[in-house]
Amino acid sequence: MQTRRGSTLKGLITISLMAVNVVFWVPILLVVALAKLLLPLSAWRRWTSALMIWIAQAWIGCNGAIFSLMGALRLEVEGVEGLDPRSWYLVLSNHQSWVDILVLQQAFNRRIPFLKFFLKQELIWVPFLGLAWWALDFPFMKRHSATYLQRHPEARGEDLDATRKACERFALLPTSVMNFVEGTRYTAAKHKATKSPFRHLLRPRPGGVAFVLSAMGGMLHSVLDVTVAYSESSPTLWDLCCGRLGPVRMHVLKRPIEPWVAQGDYAEDSRLRARFKEWLGVLWTEKDARLETMLPSRGPDPAAGDAPQ
């Protein structure tokens, strides 16, 4: 058992190595991105995009080597056999922590196409990482409040337009589009405030998933239904770096994409919206039951309600 002092030292070394990894790879990534911008030929842009993805995968691989060297991450993954790095996937996962992104990257790196996330517009200002996400064509979304949209109704379609433009870029190379369907990280307070019918999950939000499936049409080959379970609730990056996570369990279920999901107009068709809500409700009910078996016993959760029948 490591002491608190040993844990802190491990954390400092791990996060320092990760910072060095960022400072090494991001400038290389930005040089290639600049070359891509300076010569707007389709073949050149395709080649430089592929090169930047290779750089990003090498960056993730180095993070994995750091975690392995420091004993920071123990990841148990089930269901990744037979996945194709030349395919197009929609990846749907529960969301508990910013650690989720690092865990997903380690589980899927080079097993499927590079994961692309939809990010809040403000994250473009994160030092080094914001520029890297921009160079890698991560879509940045403006999240307007309901009050803002009431005052500026013309802004209602901005996220949809951003999604469509991003999906057009995703068509150039095999891509895995990542979506945290709950829209925010799970906490007991959010669970209680939203009156979620699930024991371990927040309510899924179908809009983003529907827009991606509609914009990408028949391009996406499968849905990867991902369930992540931590030994400790709501772990932080510091917990990861200090090796305090305990085993992280991940279950991956490959699901077919049915033709109806790319048909109709989600914004205008109330029947399609209801069908999407029902479809995601079934996925989330199954995921909630799966989490019940994956999570360590922590006693009754006072914030959780009864699971839907």
pLDDT of residue 120: 77
DSSP-based three-state secondary structure for 243: coil
Q: Is residue 3 part of a domain?
A: no
Owning domain of residue 261: 74-294
pLDDT of residue 137: 85
pLDDT of residue 302: 44
pLDDT of residue 159: 63
Q: What percent of the chain is predicted at pLDDT more than 90?
A: 55
* Amino acid at site 135: A
List, in sequence order, every residue forming a beta bridge with 78; answer none if it has no partner. Answer: 251
- Residue of 45, 33, 59, 62 lying closest to 115 (CA atoms): 59
Which residues 6+ apart lie within 8 Å of 123 measured at CB?
129, 130, 133, 140
Q: pLDDT band for position 160 (50/70/90)?
A: low
Q: Is residue 210 part of a domain?
A: yes
**Tokens 């899924």 belong to residue:** 204
Q: pLDDT band for position 83 (50/70/90)?
A: very high
pLDDT of residue 144: 53
Q: Residue 18 in contact with residue 241, Cβ under 8 Å?
A: yes
Q: How confident is the model over 195-254, as pLDDT tens digits?
A: 999 999 999 988 888 888 877 767 888 999 999 999 887 899 999 999 998 899 999 999
Q: Is residue 48 part of a domain?
A: no
pLDDT of residue 300: 46
- The domain that holds 273 is classified in CATH as 3.40.1130
Q: Mean pLDDT, to the nearest integer, of 163-183?
A: 82
Number of separate domains in the chain = 1
- Residue of 104, 114, 109, 105 lying closest to 53 (CA atoms): 114
Q: Is residue 26 part of a domain?
A: no
> Which segment of 38-42, 62-66, 141-145, 171-175 scores lowest on mean pLDDT?
141-145
Q: How confident is the model over 243-293, as pLDDT tens digits?
A: 998 899 999 999 998 888 777 777 778 888 899 899 999 999 999 999 999
Q: Is residue 45 part of a domain?
A: no
Q: Is residue 271 part of a domain?
A: yes
CA separation, residue 18 to residues 2, 61, 112, 199, 203 (Å): 21, 11, 23, 35, 34
Q: Which two tokens stand for residue 261?
A: 């999901």
Query: What does the alpha-carbon distance between residue 125 and residue 107 come to, in Å, rounded to a whole number?
Result: 27
Q: Is residue 303 part of a domain?
A: no
Residue 82 has pLDDT above 50, yes or no: yes
Strands 140-141 and 119-120, bridge-based pairing: parallel
Rounded to two decimals, the pTM is 0.86
Query: What does the alpha-carbon distance between residue 197 and residue 201 come to, in Å, rounded to a whole number?
Result: 8
How many CB atoms neighbour CB 271 within 10 A? Answer: 8
Q: Is residue 238 part of a domain?
A: yes
DSSP letter at 232 equals: S
